[in-house]
Amino acid sequence: MTVTKDESGQEGADGKGDMPAGAPAGAHGYTPSGRRLERERYKRARARRATAIAALSTLVTAVVLYLVVVSAPGWERTKETFFDGQYAREAFPKVLEGLWLNVRLLLICGVLVLVLGMLIAVARTLPGPVFFPLRALAAAYTDFFRGLPLIINLMIVVFGVPALRLQGVTVDPVLLGGTALTLTYSAYVAEVFRAGIESVHPSQRAAARSLGLTNRQALRYVVLPQAVRRQVPPLLNDLVSLQKDTGLVSIGGAIDAVRASDIIAQRSLNYTPYIVAGLVFVALTIPMTRFTDWVTARMDRRRAQGGSV
């Protein structure tokens, strides 16, 4: 143990490393200096001040927005049409029942989207002229379905496939709607995976080849693990969007949360059920969004520290 001087010129014992803020004096022979303690108190005071200012500004903003809305000339009529408690209580259990369909579509379509998106991304990155037709088909697929609006894709699949009267092909709007969602989102996810694959430095593949791995083994064991880890945040964002867009399967007649609210709204001529369905989707999406933010922040911290992403 050596004796060093801190910033204030005071002598203190130098242990194996600095102790965390607030460590008891004398722990492992370390005594925080007065300047360090003062600096920690200043940081805590600034944090409390920033929290108080943020809370006050949020409260003021909320009050202003509330006053603007309730003072509008048509507020009373809007309140009766969109925020009626009676219709909200009637719609809530039916919306929850329909939401189970949306959750199942998210789980099944999410898995299919990840698998199909990965296959398309790998096809687009295959080297060599022999794979040019496969790369061209994969590029055409992503260009087409990324450019085609999802609502039009749903209409084509949900209404067009039954019109063909093909033997052995389902006409279930849930399955057809899930197929349309998978086709569209696979194109977006494929581009996310492709960006991750191309972000891996070529030296990684060259090093794997020098160790005796084949191209397929290098892709599987070296390139893809790094690519997937790097692209986790955008992949989670695509899944959040998929969760919301599962409500579009209602255009084919599937009784999901959106369709359940639409049935009640058309019968009562009151739009409160739409608000209930919207709030239920928001409540379902917020945890996924916060989880995405947490994963992104965690990866940024590890990258800043020089650790493995």
Q: What is the pLDDT of residue 135?
A: 92
- 164-193 per-position pLDDT tens digit: 888 888 889 999 999 999 999 999 999 999
86-96 per-position pLDDT tens digit: 999 999 999 99
For 191-224, what is each residue's pLDDT tens digit? 999 999 988 888 888 888 888 888 888 888 888 8
Pairing of strands 2-5, 11-14: antiparallel
Residue whose entry in the numeric block shows the structure tokens 């050596």: 2
CA distance 19 to 27: 8
Other Cβ atoms closer than 10 A to 205? 18
Q: For the residues 154-167, what does the mean pLDDT come to?
A: 90
Over residues 4-18, the pLDDT tens digits come to: 444 444 444 444 444
From the list 233, 223, 246, the residue with the least C-alpha distance to 177 is 246
CB atoms within 10 A of CB 251: 17
